[in-house]
Structures are given as structure tokens and as C-alpha cells.
Amino acid sequence: MCIPTLWPMERLRLIPKGRCSPRIDPLSGWIEPETCWRLSPVSLPLDHNHPIAARKASRQYMEMVDNSYLTSSDEVHKLMLRTESTFIEHFSNSNRSQGKNLLRSKANKERHRITFSTGFFFGCSISLIIALVLIIHARNIMGTPGQITYMETMFPLYRFFGFVVLHVIMYAANIYFWKIYRVNYSFIFGFKQGTELGYRHVLLLSFGLGTFSLCAALLNLDMEMDSQTKDYKTFSELIPLFLLALVIAITLCPFNILYRSSRFFFLTALFRCIAAPFYTVNLPDFFLADQLTSQAQALRSLEFYICYYGFGDFRQRRRNTCRSNGVLTTFYFIVAVIPYWLRLLQCIRRIIEEKDRMHGYNAIKYLLTIVAACLRTAYTLNRGATWNIAAWVFSGVATLYATYWDIVVDWGLLQIGCKNSFLRDKLLVPHKTVYYAAMVLNVLLRLVWLQTVLDLKFSFLHRETLVALLACLEIIRRGIWNFFRLENEHLNNVGKFRAFKTVPLPFNYQEDRDQDN
């Protein structure tokens, strides 16, 4: 059968048909199969550090394959035809064209329009950021009496998009480095072959959203400052709501546009996160829930959308009554702990199903985090020495617990007696200093909660700006965590979700590639 996608060279034995030759990906060192290359029934369970896996050995390895019995044997060719017929009969309902498309699907090719569009939106984003800074400086907006009101009303609405854009950029960086260091992320997540997004596609989405968000912010500021458009104040207040509605509409759009397969995959994982106790926990489910734990401020921004527009504050010249409303203050607590609560439920579900006490220890981590987050929020709203001491104690314990879990359990580092000091035996990144730096950085970024209990204030920063900066640091920490977590899953299968000894066949592929991009 033909190779359906990019596979690690050390796992496959390839048989050339005719005079074709393989193309080695210059970044990852993986073999990109052509339609004339076929997969033999022989699999090589080699380690990533095996000499054959090196790029310099690929030519000698392929010469050995060319001279082997498998390349000239008619029996192998007949066996592949029989295997192809069996697959078509049992896994594609005897539809020969569909079966061949599944078995002979080609790897996604990067298109020039994706690269051009990504660069275009990136340039637009940079230009709009510069324009925004110049307008604020030229019109001295930060020195006007309405600056405080703007920061407490409009800024929380727009910063939601900033959090999303930054998180998507970090995910694009994760994909880029996963591909360089040959982490089979598409297989681990369970993406359909040929529909997974590359880092350029993800960057296109992030820069596109960033461009529209900055355009909306500039339009809002311009309409506020221009005397001729001040009469349209209500419309200018609704611009962030229109943008949010557009993003939600595109995400839920059922038509085959803007990566429908990936959007539906995201929505499915999100639904399974929300319904955590009722579904078996898969790797994409808990991975997405972990991402949500780093977006507490984004969720609070969504809550502010409901308050600001639902209670009509935008009609009252930006009057903000959300903080004085007791019900909304309660939800201010609840929204921040929802992601941790979902992860707690997922851990409980896995305890019941797998009878593994490690999930119980993981559940304790999220329970401590929930208590610490509630106490810090209570101290922020109420102040007082009692709240301060309680926030210090529980936040310190939760941080120590979570940091240990990140480094030792999720990343598999700090192993005693391994050949790489304080790391682990198997490493994909050749530079050990990267792992040491990541551990130190993870500890430092875990301590951003100190700003809350120490009540640090900076005269040149508004409180909402400081909250946004700290939230961005947490998103960056999550992006770093993502890479090493999936690297450890790829090497050691720590989550016990999948095995990686054999190449998966596309048995569950239900749609044609040309219909699902």
C-alpha cells in the first residue's frame, strides 16, 4: 500500500517502483513519499538515536533497500495488491476509488497563497500596531479624563482577542518545532490524515484575527476622537461585539470554508471538555482543557462582554456596574476556576476507568489550584490580612505542587540515574541547555501570582494593563509546556493514550481529502 503521509524514516522500509527516489525533508529529516513509493510489510522499530535515523545514513540505507530482495520480488508486489484489495473491500465499502485515495493520499503541500496571505496579514498587524501607538501619542489619549473609563470598559473587551491571538501564535510555534524535532503531533492528537494544519495555516488565522481586532480598535478610537462621528457613540461601542459575533459565526460555520475539519475537531474536543464526566477522556480533551486553564482572563473578558452589553452599560456612556453587581462578582470567581474544575472532573473520570492513583494525585493538584485562585480573587476584591495570608499559603502549596508535576510528570525530567544529568534518557532537542532553561523559566512564570498577593503597582501601568501582561506571561508558559509535554508523550507514551510502535492505517477516515480541507 502507498504511504499516506510523512513518516519517520526509521519506522518504514520503502520499496521503489521504477526509478523514483525519495525526497528527504530538509527540516525534519523525514522521508516525503511519492506516489511511486510503496510500503513493505516490514517495519523497523528503531530508536530515534539509532545510526540509521541520522540524515547522513539515509543514502546508504536506501541503497541497501534498493539492492534487497524486496525491491525485485514479484511476490511482494502481489502481496501489496492483495492487501490493497482487502482494504478496499473491508474499509471503504468496496469503493475502489475511495480506497485508493485513502491509501495513496499525498502529503499536504504548502501553497504560495498561504505564505503570501500570512505575510500580508503580519505586515498589516505590525502597521496597525504602529498606527495605534502613534495615534495614542499624538492625541495624548492616555492623558485625557476618559482614559480611566476607557481602560475599565473598552480595553477588557479588546484584550480578549489579544489573548486568543497570542495563544494561537504559540501553538503555531509548537507545530513548527514539533515538526523540526520530529514529534508526530498529528498522530498523537488524532487528526485526520491530510487535514492537520501546518504552522503557516495557524499563523494565517492568528495574524488575520489580529488584523481585524486592531482595525476595530483603531476605528473605535477614531470615532471617539472625531467630532463628526461622536453622535454614533452607541455604534462605536458595539464594534467589539460585532467582531466577537463574527469570530463565533466563523467557528460554528457548517460550510467547507476556513478549515472546517479543524474547526469541528476543536468544537468536538471543547464539547467533550464541558461534558467531562460523561465521556472517556482522550488526549485532545485534556490538552484543550489545559489550554483553557491558561486563559482565565480571557474567560473573564467573555463574562465582561455579557455584563457590559447584556445590562446595557454601553448605552450609559461607558458606565461599568459589573464590579458592583453581587451576582456578577460571584461569577467572577466561578469563571476563573471553570477550566480547573473541568480538568478535575477529567481526572476523576480517569481514576474510575483506569484505576490509576496518579490521576488522583493530578486531581489534588487542580483542587489546590481552584482554592488558591478563589483566595487570590477574594483578596483582590476584598483585601484584608486574613485573605492575604490564606492566598499566600494555598498559592505557595499549589505552585510547588504544579511545578513539580510539570517538570517531573508531564515533561519526564529530573530523572535520577539517567545518562543526561537531571533530564531523561531520551531527548529530541540536541541542546540540553534548552531543557534546563525551560525548567527555570517554567518556575519563574509560575510565580506571576505573587503580583496579586504582594499588591505590586506601577505608576506608568493601569491595573487592567498589568493584568493583561501577566495573563500573556501565563500563555507563553503554556506554549513552552505544550512542546515538552507532547515530546514526552511521543517518546514515552506517558499519558497511556496511544502506542507508537506501528504506523496507523486510515481506517477511520470517512471523508475524501478534496472535500475536507
88 and 124 within one domain: no
Angle (CA) 414 54 418, round 5°:
20
117 and 85 within one domain: no
Of 287-291, 346-350, 491-495, give the lowest mean pLDDT range: 491-495
Look at residue 499 in the predicted model and tell me its pLDDT: 46
Of 38-52, 76-90, 106-120, 241-255, give the lowest mean pLDDT range: 38-52
381 and 423 within one domain: yes
For 256-316, give the DSSP string. Answer: S-S-HHHHHHHHHHHHHHHTGGGSPPPHHHHHHHHHHHT-HHHHHHHHHHHHHHHTTGGGS
69 and 208 within one domain: no
**Could you give the percent of the chain with pLDDT greater than 90?**
40
Cell reading at 342: 473541568
168 and 81 within one domain: no
CA dist 170 and 176 (Å) reads 10
326 and 286 within one domain: yes
Angle (CA) 96 98 103, round 5°:
90
127 and 84 within one domain: no
393 belongs to a structural domain: yes
Examine the pLDDT at 32 and tell me if it is beyond 60: no
375 and 254 within one domain: yes
106 belongs to a structural domain: no
Look at residue 272 in the predicted model and tell me its pLDDT: 94
- Residue-wise pLDDT for 437-487, tens only, equals 999 999 999 988 777 766 677 777 888 888 899 999 999 999 999 999 999
In 3D, which of 346, 177, 376 has the Cα closest to residue 274? 346
Per residue, the 3-state secondary structure of 51-80, as one string, reads HHHCHHHHHHHHHHHHCCHHHCCHHHHHHH
510 belongs to a structural domain: no
163 and 77 within one domain: no
- Helix and strand tally (H, E) in the chain? 18, 4
CA dist 120 and 14 (Å) reads 40
13 belongs to a structural domain: no
DSSP state of 10: G
Are 407 and 413 in contact, with CB atoms under 8 Å apart? yes
325 belongs to a structural domain: yes
In 3D, which of 145, 43, 135, 24 has the Cα closest to residue 504? 43
Examine the pLDDT at 33 and tell me if it is beyond 90: no
Band of residue 42 on the pLDDT scale cut at 50, 70, 90: very low
Look at residue 184 in the predicted model and tell me its pLDDT: 87
| Section 422-441 average pLDDT | 93
Band of residue 151 on the pLDDT scale cut at 50, 70, 90: confident
Look at residue 58 in the predicted model and tell me its pLDDT: 63
Angle (CA) 203 208 214, round 5°:
125
129 and 72 within one domain: no
Return the number of other C-beta atoms located less than 10 Å from residue 82's C-beta.
Answer: 10
**Rg of the chain over CA atoms, in angstroms?**
26
Write down the mean pLDDT value for the chain.
Answer: 80
- Mean pLDDT is highest, among 68-72, 319-323, 381-385, for 381-385
- Mean pLDDT is highest, among 121-125, 463-467, 501-505, for 121-125
In 3D, which of 377, 380, 398 has the Cα closest to residue 456? 380
In 3D, which of 111, 125, 105 has the Cα closest to residue 213? 125
| Section 279-306 average pLDDT | 92
Look at residue 269 in the predicted model and tell me its pLDDT: 94
57 belongs to a structural domain: no
For the chain, the farthest-separated pair of C-alpha atoms sits apart, in whole angstroms, at 84
Residues with Cβ < 8 Å from 207, sequence gap 6 or more? Answer: 118, 121, 122, 124, 125, 165
Residue 24 phi, psi (nearest 5): -90, 125
Interhelix angle 283-293/260-274, rounded to 10 degrees, is 80
Band of residue 317 on the pLDDT scale cut at 50, 70, 90: low
42 belongs to a structural domain: no
Of 365-374, 401-410, 474-483, 504-513, give the lowest mean pLDDT range: 504-513
107 belongs to a structural domain: no
| Tally of domains within the chain | 2
CA dist 99 and 105 (Å) reads 10
| Section 157-165 average pLDDT | 95
| Full residue range of the structural domain in which residue 304 is found | 112-496
168 and 84 within one domain: no
119 and 82 within one domain: no
Q: Measured in Å, how far apart are the chain's first and last C-alpha atoms?
A: 23
